[in-house]
Structure 1
Amino acid sequence: MRILHVDASASDTETSHTRRLSSELVERLIAANPRATVVYRDVATNQLPHVDMTIRQAWTPENSTDPKLAGTINRAKELVDELKEADVVVVGSPMYNFSVPSTLKAWIDHVSIAGQTFSYTAEGPQGLLTSKVYLVLSSGGIYSQGPFAANDYLSTYLQAIFRFLGVKDVEVIRAEGVAYGPEQDQAAMASAADRIETLTDTA
């Protein structure tokens, strides 16, 4: 099993809900699959540049040997290869202003490449990934249900983008309402940990 673990929280491990939970999930996956290998990418600490025209140029065959684009080409291929080669992808992301952190969006923009992770066909776009994806998410409020559910552009977007890229098996793990006080914070983390245990028992 090859695992790609992506963390996007701007907080450190001690204070980040998603860093702690995504690490727990990866540890349990490794325990169930001792020969698993892990590629870890922290897009908050090691931020990627926002996408510009050099990214598109990097994937154009006639530019493949352009020394001015060598760094961009190498980075682009490394990111895409990490994703394409992964059997399991674990993404840890908090909700920032109802959506994904900009650092995670930058990673998505680097790996969502026509001809690499999806293709255009006469019937429309076709995803090329076959991995399993775990989305480990946290939010200060509660967005999976209730009056603010319509504001959830975190889980809905991430599920949409991975399904666009061909992933059929997407599991969502949530720690919600963590800003509602210590008791709710603890309950949210316990609920997320229980879901991780349930999912990895059958992984």
Structure 2
Amino acid sequence: MQTLLINAHPDFANQDHFSNQLEEQFLTKYQQLFPNEQPTVLNLYDSEIPRIEKGQLLDVWNKQRSGEKMTADEDHVAQVSNNLLTQFKAHHRIVIVSPLHNFNVTSRMKDYIDNILIAQQTFKYTETGSVGLMTDDYRVMLLQASGSIYTNNDRYTPLEFSHFYLKEMFVEMMGFDQFNIVRAQGTSVRSPEEVWQSVPEELDQAIHDFYAKK
């Protein structure tokens, strides 16, 4: 099963971070399930990710619509963006590793979404609304670490915008069949032992659902 692991942590190589430790736990279980396979790993903060701004995607999209000739730099940006989209569509299992930054995804993760949420590629517009095109058993799993706890049905629960945003983009907009989340939460208010207490069981169940046959 082709798996793309997207690490959205700015300090992706630092194993002191809980989200990166979540990634290691996932990779250990992945190797147990698929000893002869390797996931594709994309570290967003070690990769060129075009942004919607002047000189990058904004100019590229405007010139593509108008048919105007692009500069060499714009051609490069367009190619990088297209490569990200092609890579994304080639993997039916997407794993996102991320901390919660100000209640949402990291800035580079938002930039990445802007390169893959493309009309006529991953979704299309119709007279009755948009329709997802990623319907061939695509699934996504979010491995997220957060300083606070977001599952107590208190004031923090509706502030976990990362979860809502990614689920809506992948499932509602692009048509993914499944969205799972595994949280290492309360890292600022719990001991490490408490943070990890329920994670192994939750991760086992999420991975089972993630790779289960239809």
Is TM (by shorter chain) over 0.5?
A: yes
Between the two proteins, the alignment pairs up a number of residues equal to 201
- Once the two structures are TM-superposed, the CA of residue 37 in structure 1 deviates from its matched residue by 4.3
Please tell me whether residue 76 in structure 1 is matched to residue 77 in structure 2. Answer: no
| Percent identity of paired positions between Structure 1 and Structure 2 | 21
Distance 1:63 1:40 in 2: 35
Alignment of 1:1-203 (within 5 A): 1-11=1-11, 12-46=13-47, 48-52=49-53, 53-57=58-62, 60=65, 62=67, 67-130=72-135, 131-147=138-154, 148-163=156-171, 164-181=173-190, 183=191, 185-201=192-208, 203=211
Structure 1: gaps of 5 or more residues: none
Q: Cα deviations across residues 66-93 of structure 1 (Å, max 9, x unaligned)?
A: 6442211211111101111111000011
Root-mean-square deviation over aligned CA pairs? 2.3
Query: Mind listing any 5+ residue stretches in structure 2 that lack a counterpart?
Result: none
Q: Equivalents in 2 of 1:197, 1:42: separation in Å?
A: 24
Contact 1:17 1:175 survives alignment (8 Å) = yes
Write the letter of the residue equivalent to 1:170: F
Task: Call closer, same or farther: CA 1:68–1:139 in 2, change over 3 Å.
Answer: closer
What's the TM-score once normalised by structure 2's chain length?
A: 0.83
2: distance between equivalents of 1:55 and 1:35? 40
1:59/1:134 CA distance change after superposition, 3 Å: farther
Write the letter of the residue equivalent to 2:2.
Answer: R
SS of 1:83's equivalent? Answer: helix
Q: Distance in 2 between matches of 1:162 and 1:49?
A: 20
Contact 1:48 1:107 in 2 (8 A): yes
Q: Deviations over 1:51-77 (max 9, x none)?
A: 131342475494687644221121111
CA distance, structure 2, for counterparts of residue 141 and residue 32 of structure 1: 32
1: distance between equivalents of 2:139 and 2:66? 30
| Alpha-carbon distance in 1 for matches of 2:153, 2:128 | 37
Which moves more between the two structures, 93-102 or 26-35?
Answer: 26-35
What is the Cα deviation at residue 29 of structure 1? 2.7
Relative to the length of structure 1, the TM-score reads 0.87
Question: What displacement does 1:33 show?
Answer: 2.9
- Superposed displacement of residue 201, structure 1: 4.2
Q: Aligned AA for 2:46?
A: T
Code of the aligned partner of 2:79 = N
**1:125 aligned counterpart, secondary structure:** strand
